[in-house]
Amino acid sequence: MNRSEYLKGTHRVVIKVGTSSITKGGSGVSSEFMDSIARQVKCLKDKGIESLIVTSGAIGLGLSVMDARPRSREIPVRQAAASIGQSVLMQKWNDSFQRYGIAAAQILLTYDFYSDREKYLNLRNAVQTILEYGAVPIFNENDAVCVREIDAVFGDNDTLSAMVSIKTDADLLIILSDVDGLYDKDPKIFKGSRLIHTVTDITDEIREIAGGSSTQAGTGGMRTKIHAAEICHEAGCNVVIAGSDTENVIERVISGEKIGTIFVSDRKERRKLSWIRNAHAYGSIEVDEGANNALSRHVSLLAVGIISVTGRFDRGDVVNITCNGKITAKGIPDYNSDDITKIKGLHSDRMAEVLGHKNYDNVIRSENIVLM
């Protein structure tokens, strides 16, 4: 199947732009590059395709303005740089989009937007309204108020772009980078390395090519990009990794040209299950082997199979389900941690007696469980 078939019916695309693409290796913004992105977004808009931008670059720009060179983990300086750089970055995006009559909307996110259901729904409503008014949402991490996210959770916004893609029901994520796609070997080291044009299944071999988890940086900077592709794959969102220097790269990707590497997803996992799989876990429930075997057959979790509870969580929070200390599933319980602690190991007919009420016979219903 050719690419145009894979990408047919794309109505909403998320475009992730890395720091190296925005600065073109310098300390400032490449206005020419940002103008080209805005122009291509306008072309997509004219074709009825909605675009969302996930941008990096705030910290680098802020450090340049501050003339600062912090140590690698000097968080306060980097937070200050993010705050200063973000205003510069958004002004540049605004300038570029205004040239094509498009308003740019800033959305700063922290990791809990993905785990908190209310925040997710509010975000979804805001994005939909922004798009209905013809504006372009531009996302970035809120590094100014975060500590652990900087260079740790989102991985230069690759993971963030995948999460935004899922949460906004995007059909395609385009990751623009200083590399042209996934190669069978690091092209910066090995001559004759071959670009892999299509990936239909993210195997251990693909992960190995991108760089194992023990390495500081994946081959060609690919490790976090492959992780983003895995997140999108679970939710039925295609991903293309392509070089930002390629002329009209966004338009050409959408048209089906053989540019970069496409990660094809034909797996239409329900959005809720994808959310559960990738959301932050507020606690964990340890189950016995009998209950774990039942879960593998997509059966609900009963109190009788629960051994212990770790952490404090409310009904509706996401939790890990473990067996022999290993995470085997995640789910959304219908009882809080205190209630589950009281009823663990009990048969369902005793739950009301112990708690004074009963929400369900099951602690976690099968439709709210995803296997890991």
**3-state per-residue secondary structure call for 37-69:** HHHHHHHHHHCCCEEEEEECCHHHHHHHHHCCC
pLDDT of residue 221 exceeding 80: no
Residue 348 sits in the same domain as residue 333: yes
Q: Is 242:181 a contact under the CB 8 Å cutoff?
A: yes
pLDDT tens-digit map of 331-363: 999 899 999 999 999 999 899 999 988 878 899
Last residue of a domain, one of 274, 300, 327: 274
In this predicted structure, what is the pLDDT of residue 111? 67
Residue 265 sits in the same domain as residue 304: no
Last residue of a domain, one of 211, 239, 274: 274
**Is the pLDDT higher at 186 or at 207?**
207
The range of the structural domain enclosing residue 329 comes to 281-371
The pTM assigned to this predicted structure is 0.71
Last residue of a domain, one of 239, 254, 274: 274
pLDDT tens-digit map of 280-331: 899 999 999 999 999 998 889 999 999 999 999 998 889 999 999 999 999 9
Which CATH number does the domain housing residue 254 bear?
3.40.1160.10
Cα dihedral 232, 315, 148, 207 sign: negative
| Angstrom distances, CA of residue 2 to CA of 195, 201, 239, 257 | 17, 16, 15, 9
Residue 147 sits in the same domain as residue 187: yes
Supply φ then ψ for residue 242, to 5 degrees. Answer: -145, 160
**Is the pLDDT higher at 282 or at 61?**
282
Residue 27 sits in the same domain as residue 171: yes
Q: Is 233 exposed, middle or buried (0-12, 13-18, 19+ CB in 10 A)?
A: buried
Residue 187 sits in the same domain as residue 220: yes
pLDDT of residue 151 exceeding 50: no
pLDDT of residue 182 exceeding 80: yes
Rounded CA separation 97/100 (Å): 5
In this predicted structure, what is the pLDDT of residue 259? 94
Residue 87 sits in the same domain as residue 127: yes
Mean pLDDT confidence for 24-36: 86
Residue 245 sits in the same domain as residue 311: no
Neighbours of 362 (CB within 10 A): 19
Which CATH number does the domain housing residue 335 bear?
2.30.130.10
In this predicted structure, what is the pLDDT of residue 70? 61
